[in-house]
Structure 1
Amino acid sequence: MYKKILVAIDGSDVANGAFETALQLAKAEKAELLPLYVVEYPNIYDPGIGYDLTPIYEALRAEGDRVAAEADACLKKEGIDGKARVADKFPSIRPTASQIQDVADEFQADLVILGTHGRSGFKRLMLGSVAEAFIRQSTRPVLLIPQKATVEPLAKE
């Protein structure tokens, strides 16, 4: 049923739960899996502020590369076809949900899997919700994995 699955990853427990679900589904469906890390720049970023943001940029990019490398190691270990990717639109800052949509379209994903913190009220208003924003614009099927969901890892060490 699914041949191409995209899963958003960021190294958080919530995203790791979504990644475990994506691994299991990709293995069961013999699907290609694209773990995607989107580099998120702080909302206060302004190219004209006059100070060097290179250290911040490099740290954010290094974190993305680290998380993507861990995902690639899991794909290899489980024998799942795919390669992690880091989306980085610097210096043009696009919302994370839009970047996920762009890559999902480019990859021609049959399914997009996202973890969700399940925030509500003031916390959701202040922190935003990538999952909610993505659902509002997505043209592809979406599977949300709530923070409270528990998924057994494929490989038990």
Structure 2
Amino acid sequence: MYQTILVTIDGSACADRALDEAIRLASLCEATLEIVHVVDNSYLKYDMGYGNLADLRPDLVEGGRKLLANAEARTHAGQVVCHTQLVDEILALGDIAMAIDAAAQRTHADLVVVGTHGRRGVRRLVMGSVAEGVVCRSKVPVLLVRASKAA
């Protein structure tokens, strides 16, 4: 079955559900979980002269570290081995799907688990744009986890 499962987190309720599902699956398969948070640097494309947008970056990085620490604790509570990665590639300028695919290749993931709607707004009605990008790029199976009906 799966040996390495990569799951992406962004602090959204949908990503939390994806993490829960990845923990369950990793437990059943005795797989290692790779937990990835990609810092969304897309704001750097939109310098509008209202201050230095680059000042946001330290807060985004720190927020990502906190998300990963929380996810790691949840994973260990589920008795699953995990590694965490903070991906902060400024040159990607917000191409989060590309960064996720690169992380999946680096870690030799057998499966990628991603929530269908994250914190990037409603850019797609059926599926989030990041999830769609991951599905289109990935060379390994992708498990999409939908948000709960209450969310």
TM-score range, shorter chain: 0.7 to 0.9
Is contact 1:5–1:22 with CA below 8 Å preserved after alignment? Answer: yes
Q: For 2:10 and 2:92, how far apart are their aligned partners in 1?
A: 20
**What is aligned with 1:33?**
33
**What is aligned with 2:56?**
56
1:125-151 per-position Cα deviation (integer Å, ceiling 9, x unaligned)? 7x961011111111111110111379x
Instruction: Report the CA distance shift for 1:45/1:101 in structure 2 as closer, same or farther (over 3 A).
Output: same
* Residue 134 (structure 2) pairs with residue 134 (structure 1): yes
Q: C-alpha displacement at 1:52, in angstroms?
A: 3.6
Q: Count the aligned residue pairs.
A: 146
5+ unaligned residues in a row in structure 1: which ranges? 151-157
Q: TM-score, normalised by structure 2?
A: 0.84
* Residue 93 (structure 2) pairs with residue 103 (structure 1): no
**What is aligned with 1:155?**
none
Kindly report the root-mean-square deviation, in angstroms, between the aligned alpha carbons of the 2 structures.
2.7
**What is aligned with 2:18?**
18
5+ unaligned residues in a row in structure 2: which ranges? none
Structure number, greater radius of gyration = 1
Identity rate, percent: 33
SS at match of 2:65: helix
* Residue 54 (structure 2) pairs with residue 74 (structure 1): no
Letter in 2 for 1:24: R
**What is aligned with 2:89?**
89
* Residue 28 (structure 2) pairs with residue 5 (structure 1): no
